Structure 1
Amino acid sequence: MARAVPAVERAFDVLELFLESQELSAPEITAQLGLPRTTVHELVGTLSERGYLMATARGSNKYRLGVRSFQLGAAYAERLDLAREGHVVAEDIAERCQETVHVGVRENAEVLYVAKVDSSHPVRMVSAVGRRLPAHCTALGKVLLASLSRAELDDLYAERKLEAMTERSVTSRKALRKELDQVAADGVASEYRESNESVACVSAPVHDQNDRVVAAMSISVPILRWNDETENALRDLVREGAAALSERLGFGG
């Protein structure tokens, strides 16, 4: 376990007091935590500047949780909803195709798997919820990258090298942009042995109620079961699954 940072621990101690109290003053925080008054004022000041605390009124010495705390909680709740709803839809899609289905989100230049339903076949893809992979090497990641503007994409890879996971991985920014343009036009991505020599994959975007691409759904297939007919059928099915998950998240388009 990494060494705990005392200053960070004290900041969290302050925030966690508000789990029990809606409003607290600096003296009340000082009394409850047993910290020096100067330390509490510095912590409260820093947390207020970052938006995690805010004064209850102009000139008041009482504080409550700020909007940044709400945003973190909302992001956490959204992820939980996405994982839960994603698993429900993934189960249906996996049952229909008998292959492994994932739901993932983008975190910077990586894909994070938040839901997975395994194939019923004895030969299946080895993966796990919580695993991360380079976005440019996966169909799921390419769908998410394709939702970015050109400026956002350039900024994301300004100081990142496109590392290869297999000999077929995309390692050129120009080639990646060209492929992402095609993915954006098609509304679906395919990947053949780019993240795993033994696996092919198709993926489609998942939208939220504001028409933002917040996730993607993918179907992964060992290459021994992969052919053009399978790819075409699964492209249609993954679109259907992503649309169903989007609807469950409030998308009306």
Structure 2
Amino acid sequence: MARAVPAVGRAFDVLELFLAEAELSAPEITAALGLPRTTVHELLGTLVERGYLVAAGESGTRFRLGVRTFQLGSAYAERLDLAREGRLAAEEAALRCGETVHVAVLDGTEVLYVAKVDSAHPVRMVSAVGRRLPAHCTAVGKVLLAALPKRRFAELYAGRRLVALTARSTTARRALRRELDVVAATGIAREHCESNEAVACVAAPVRDSSGAVVAAMSASVPTPRWDDAADRALTGIIREGAAELSRRLGHAG
């Protein structure tokens, strides 16, 4: 790997301070980074000249992000591919947990699987990219439904019967709504044999640059390998995998 250039790194350190603060002064940047005052002034001058920072207010002593950062962010967002980024993040999660990892999006009352990485075990869940399932029967679907405004949820399911894929599938809207409220509060959804009689899943939300939930990531495990220890381990891995995919999509949370 090529040697990092210290001056470039310090310039990025300055810019990244603005992820948490809308405006900063030169003394505040100096204190935050522990750099010499002259170095900070040179960095600020260069970043202002290139349009990455602008002076805030008439005094010119405070700074905020410039239009160039917006242009770069917009160019990045336009080139994002959820399926590609989802596949890369799912590969990392699957390597850690050894189980099948999915990434799915919501389409009406169904989930659509856009990325999948198979388990390393000979006994594993059979599924495919492009497959659809009723959202209320899956962990990824519960994550996505829980993120909807309650009015939107009510509109989607008004007069609609909740189909059962197994004997464990939830078919009562009130029971589903109560479960979704828990999912919204905890950030984790589970399903145990609700879409497949032999599979349990745990899922977490994936967010875009605006913070909106745009997808969900899950790990699917044959029930003989599912226990409390597996639940705890997979919950942590899927939380981190979903957070990594969120970062790939521009989420800074």
Matching residue's letter, 1:151: R
Look up the match of 2:110: 110
Q: Could you say what secondary structure the match of 1:105 adopts?
A: strand
Q: What is the CA distance between 1:220 and its match in structure 2?
A: 0.2
- Name the SS of the counterpart of 1:229 in structure 2: helix
Q: Please give the alpha-carbon distance, in whole angstroms, between the structure 2 residues aligned to 1:198 and 1:124.
A: 10
- Distance (whole Å) between structure 2 residues aligned to residue 146 and residue 90 of structure 1: 22
3-state secondary structure, aligned to 1:215: strand
Give 1:209's aligned amino acid. Answer: S
> What do residues 97-123 of structure 1 show as CA deviations (whole Å, max 9, x unaligned)?
110000000000000000000001000
Q: What is the CA–CA distance in structure 2 between the aligned matches of 1:229 and 1:92, rounded to whole Å?
A: 20
Give 1:185 shift: 0.6
The within-5 A match list for 1:34-183 is: 81-183=81-183
Look up the SS of the partner of 1:126 in the other structure: coil
CA distance in 2, matches of 1:80, 1:247: 12
Alignment of 1:206-221 (within 5 A): 206-221=206-221
Q: Give the Cα–Cα distance (whole angstroms) in 2 for the partners of residues 94 and 149 of structure 1.
A: 31
Whether the 8 Å contact between 2:199 and 2:222 is mirrored in structure 1 is yes
* AA of the residue aligned to 2:111: V
1:189 aligns with 2:189: yes
How far has the Cα of 1:160 moved from its partner? 1.5
Q: What secondary structure, in the 3-state scheme, does the structure 2 residue paired with 1:120 have?
A: coil
- 2:234 matches 1:234: yes
Change (3 A) 1:78 1:242: farther
Corresponding residue SS for 1:160: coil
CA distance in 2, matches of 1:209, 1:200: 30
Q: Secondary structure at the match of 1:206?
A: strand
Partner of 1:62: none
Q: Secondary structure at the match of 1:201?
A: strand
What letter corresponds to residue 183 of structure 1 in structure 2?
A: V
Q: Distance in 2 between matches of 1:236 and 1:96?
A: 11
**The residue matched to 1:101 in structure 2 has which SS?**
strand
Q: State the distance in 2 between where 1:90 and 1:159 align.
A: 36
Runs of 4+ in 1 over 2 A off after TM superposition: 77-80
Quote the offset at 1:80 in angstroms: 6.8
- Scaled by the length of structure 1, the TM-score of the pair is 0.69
Distance 1:237 1:190 in 2: 14
- 1-structure distance, mates of 2:198, 2:158: 31
Correspondence for 2:202: 202
What is the CA distance between 1:159 and its match in structure 2? 2.6
Residues 242, 79 of structure 1: alpha-carbon distance in 2 compared, 3 angstrom cutoff: farther
> SS at the partner of 2:140?
helix
Unaligned runs of 5+ in 2: 1-76
The one-letter amino acid paired with 1:109 is T
* Aligned residues of 2:104 and 2:215 also touching (Cα < 8 A): yes
Q: SS in structure 1 opposite 2:81?
A: helix
1: CA distance between counterparts of 2:78 and 2:169? 31
Q: Cα gap change, 1:190/1:78 in structure 2, threshold over 3 Å: closer, same or farther? A: farther
Partner Cα distance (1:245, 1:167) in 2: 33
Secondary structure at the counterpart of residue 103 of structure 2: strand
SS at match of 2:133: strand
**Pairs aligned (count):** 178
Structural RMSD (CA)? 1.6
Distance 1:80 1:225 in 2: 35
Q: Distance in 2 between matches of 1:108 and 1:78?
A: 24
Q: Write out per-residue CA displacement over residues 125-152 of structure 1, whole angstroms, 9 at most, x where no aligned residue.
A: 0000000000000000000000011111
**Residue matched to 1:70:** none
User: Residue 251 of structure 2 aligns with which residue?
Assistant: 251
SS in 2 for 1:122: coil
